[in-house]
Amino acid sequence: MIAPEDWNAIGLTLRLAGISTVVLLMLASPLAWWLARSQSAWRAPVAALTSLPLVLPPTVLGFYLLVTLGPDGPLGRLTLLLGLGTLPFSFAGLVIGSVVYSLPFAVQPLLHAFQNMGDRPLELAATLRASPLDAFFSVALPLAWPGFVSAAVLSFAHTIGEFGMVLMMGGNIPGQTRVLSTQIYGHVEAMAYTQAHALAAGMLIFSFAVLLGLNLLQKRGLRMGS
Amino acid sequence: MSAENHIALQLVRSAFTLEVDISLPPQGITAVFGASGSGKTSLLRCVAGLERPAHGLVRMSGQVWQDAQTFLPTWRRPLGYVFQEASLLQHLTVQGNLHFGLRRSAQRQAGQKHLQQAIELLGIGHLLTRRVQELSGGERQRVAIASALALQPRVLLLDEPLAALDAARRQDILPWLERLRDEVHIPMLYVTHALDEVVRLADHLLVLEQGKLADSGPVAQVLGRSASSMASGEDLGVLLHAKVQEFDPAWHLMRVGFPGGSLWVKDNALALGAPVRIRVLARDISLAVGPPPVSSIQNLLPVTVLEMRADAHPSQCLVRLSCGKDDESSVLWARITARAAHALDLKPGLSAWAQVKAAALVGA
- Give the integer Cα–Cα distance in Å for B269 and A113: 54
Instruction: Determine contact, residues B347/B358, Cβ cutoff 8 Å.
Output: no
C-beta atoms of A143 and B100 within 8 A = no
pLDDT of B67-126, one tens digit each?
999 999 999 999 999 999 878 999 999 999 999 999 998 777 788 888 999 999 999 999
The band of B233, judged by pLDDT with boundaries at 50, 70 and 90, is low
* Distance separating the N- and C-terminal Cα atoms of chain B: 31
Question: Mind telling me how many Å the CA of A139 is from chain B's nearest CA?
Answer: 8
As a residue count, chain A comes to 226
Contact B90 A121 (CB under 8 A): yes
Chain B residues whose CB is inside 8 A of the A138 CB are: 100
The predicted model scores a pTM of 0.82
- Domain assignments of chain A as residue spans, ordered by start: 4-225
Angle at B156 between CA B153 and CA B158, to 5 degrees: 150
Does the complex come out with an ipTM higher than 0.85? no
List of chain A residues whose C-beta atoms are within 8 Å of the C-beta of residue B149: none
Question: Are B151 and A128 a contacting pair at CB < 8 A?
Answer: yes
CATH architecture classification, A4-225:
Orthogonal Bundle (1.10)
Q: Which of A116, A119, A129 to mutate to test the interface with B (most CBs of B within 10 A)?
A: A129
Mean pLDDT of the B234-239 span: 83
A135 vs B contacts (CB less than 8 Å):
75
Whether residue B93 lies within 8 A of chain A, CB to CB, comes out as: no
Q: What is the pLDDT of residue B323?
A: 93
Helix (H) or strand (E) holding B301: strand B299-310
Q: What angle do CA B31, B51, B176 make, to 5 degrees?
A: 30
Per the CB < 8 A criterion, the answer to whether B34 and B208 are in contact is yes
- B chain contacts of residue A131, beta-carbon cutoff 8 Å: 73, 75
What pLDDT score does A46 carry? 96
Q: What is the DSSP string of B332-347?
A: EEEEEEHHHHHHHT--
Domain boundaries, chain B: 5-228, 237-363
- Phi, then psi, of B55 in degrees rounded to 5: -125, 130
Residues B330 and B240: beta-carbon distance below 8 Å? yes
| Domain B5-228, CATH | 3.40.50.300
| CATH code reported for the domain at B237-363 | 2.40.50.100
Please give the interface size between A and B, counted as residue pairs whose CB atoms are below 8 Å apart: 62
The reply to whether residue A138 touches residue B100, judged by beta carbons under 8 angstroms, is yes
What type of residue sits at position B325? Answer: K
**Closest chain B residue to A129, measured at CA:** B75
Interface of A with B in 105-124 (CB under 8 A): 120-121, 123-124
The answer to whether residues B133 and B114 touch, using CB atoms and an 8 Å cutoff, is no
pLDDT in tens, chain A (226 residues): 678 888 999 999 999 999 999 999 999 999 999 999 999 999 999 999 999 999 999 999 999 999 999 988 888 998 888 888 888 889 999 999 999 999 999 999 999 999 999 999 999 999 999 999 999 999 999 999 989 999 999 999 999 988 888 888 887 888 888 899 999 999 999 999 999 999 999 999 998 998 898 888 877 765 554 3
Nearest to B75 among A130, A142, A225 (CB): A130
Interface probe with A: pick from B52, B103, B104, most Cβ of A within 10 Å: B104
- Of B48, B86, B148, nearest to A120 by CB-CB distance is B86
Q: Given CB atoms, is A18 within the 8 Å cutoff of chain B? A: no
CB A155 within 8 A of CB A106: yes
Strand B212-218 to strand B351-356: parallel, antiparallel, or no bridges (unpaired)?
unpaired
Chain A within 8 Å of B147 (Cβ-Cβ)? Answer: yes
More confident of the two residues B230 and B40 = B40
End-to-end CA distance of chain A: 48
Distance from CA of A85 to the nearest CA of B (A): 47
For B211, list phi and psi in degrees, rounded to 5: 85, -5
Contact assessment for residue B208 and residue B214, using Cβ atoms and an 8 Å cutoff: yes
Judge whether residue B351 has pLDDT over 50: yes
CB contact under 8 A, B75 and A131: yes
Do the domains spanning B5-228 and B237-363 agree at the CATH topology level? no
Of B155, B181, B143, the C-alpha closest to B79 is B155
Phi, psi of B293 (to 5 degrees): -70, 150
With CB atoms and an 8 Å threshold, state whether A129 touches B151: yes
The answer to whether the CB atoms of B101 and A129 lie below 8 A apart is yes
| Range from B8-12, B168-172, B231-235 carrying the lowest mean pLDDT | B231-235
Q: Please compute, for residue B364, the number of CA atoms within 13 A of its CA located in the half-sphere on the CB side.
A: 17
Give the whole-angstrom CA distance, residue B201 versus residue B30. Answer: 9
Q: What is the pLDDT of residue B226?
A: 62
HSE value, Cβ hemisphere, 13 Å, CA-based, for A219? 6
